[in-house]
Amino acid sequence: MTVGYKIKDIAERSGFTPATLRYYEEIGLLPESSRTPAGYRVYDDGTLDRLAFIARAKQLGCTLEEIADLNIAWDGGRCGPVQDRLREVVADKLASSQRQIVELMTLSADLQRAAASLELHRPDGPCDERCGCITDEPDVPATSSHSVSLISKPVTTGEIACTLAPQSMQSRLEEWQALLVHVADRESIDGGVRVTFAGSTPLEELMRLTAAEQRCCRFFAFAITVDERGIALEIRSPADALPIVHALFGVPA
């Protein structure tokens, strides 16, 4: 026997507001509900399942247009096509999010340089070419080192920052992505993740990239291991930096 739910019941069970449920029905994300003789909407368990799927898609950053497209696969009644389509969407969003990470790190570097330049020269009169208010080339000593903070809040475990030049961040990310296609498995370890590579992995490239990453991101702790499971890279970090580890090296299954 199919259970009938009123809109307030569906709202409580799904976490969506009644107004959102009505809107989703209007735009076709939800099938048209049944009505009682008094005209009230009535929903069934299938609606709850669909709303759970919609909530998951929203959690993954899908737009309503993307969810509508995914709904077509969902209506087929088989998990395989849904997973295939969702995997494509997730891969696109992962690539986009990694580009955004680089863009934000680059912006952060620019802002930190601007903040430094505003401390160096304060003319008594109008702004000039050295005050940092009107120039893109702050008068920062060439010998000064520069790092980009990777998290917004202060931590007690040391600086979580990268000294890689902003213009090099995108190419470094692409190098890691090219190497990580050889990953055979990921597993959680204390304070990080263990990435096991397939036998086809170019080991010289793995060692080169690991050493380069250690130089610019000293909050990472790397270890290349060889045992019966194969060749692996263990990456550990302070707890505050674990999201960075997962964004760069992947989330354990």
Where does a domain end: 102, 121, 144?
Answer: 144
Q: Which of 253, 177, 176, 178 minimizes the C-alpha distance to 222?
A: 176
Query: Would 196 be classed as within a structural domain?
Result: yes
Do residues 51 and 86 both lie within one domain? no
* Range of the structural domain that residue 83 is part of: 79-144
Do residues 215 and 165 both lie within one domain? yes
Using N-to-C axis directions, what is the helix angle for 7-14 and 18-27, rounded to 10°? 100
pLDDT at position 101: 72
Where does a domain end: 77, 94, 129?
Answer: 77
Do residues 114 and 165 both lie within one domain? no
pLDDT at position 13: 93
Do residues 153 and 206 both lie within one domain? yes
Do residues 173 and 197 both lie within one domain? yes
Query: Would 2 be classed as within a structural domain?
Result: no
Do residues 151 and 243 both lie within one domain? yes
Do residues 53 and 86 both lie within one domain? no
Query: Would 1 be classed as within a structural domain?
Result: no
Do residues 36 and 25 both lie within one domain? yes
Are the CB atoms for 160 and 240 separated by under 8 Å?
A: yes
Phi-psi category of residue 4: left, alpha or beta, with phi > 0 → left and psi -120 to 50 → alpha: beta
pLDDT at position 55: 94
Query: Would 126 be classed as within a structural domain?
Result: yes
Do residues 59 and 107 both lie within one domain? no
CATH at 14: 1.10.1660.10
- pLDDT in single tens digits along all 253 residues of the chain: 456 889 999 999 999 999 999 999 999 999 888 888 888 889 989 999 999 999 999 998 899 999 999 999 888 889 888 899 988 888 888 778 777 777 776 777 777 777 777 777 788 888 887 777 776 554 444 434 455 555 555 444 457 888 887 678 878 888 998 999 999 999 999 999 999 999 889 999 999 999 999 998 889 999 999 888 889 999 999 988 888 888 889 888 7
Query: Would 214 be classed as within a structural domain?
Result: yes
Do residues 107 and 33 both lie within one domain? no
Query: Would 84 be classed as within a structural domain?
Result: yes
pLDDT at position 191: 93
Are the CB atoms for 43 and 33 separated by under 8 Å?
A: yes
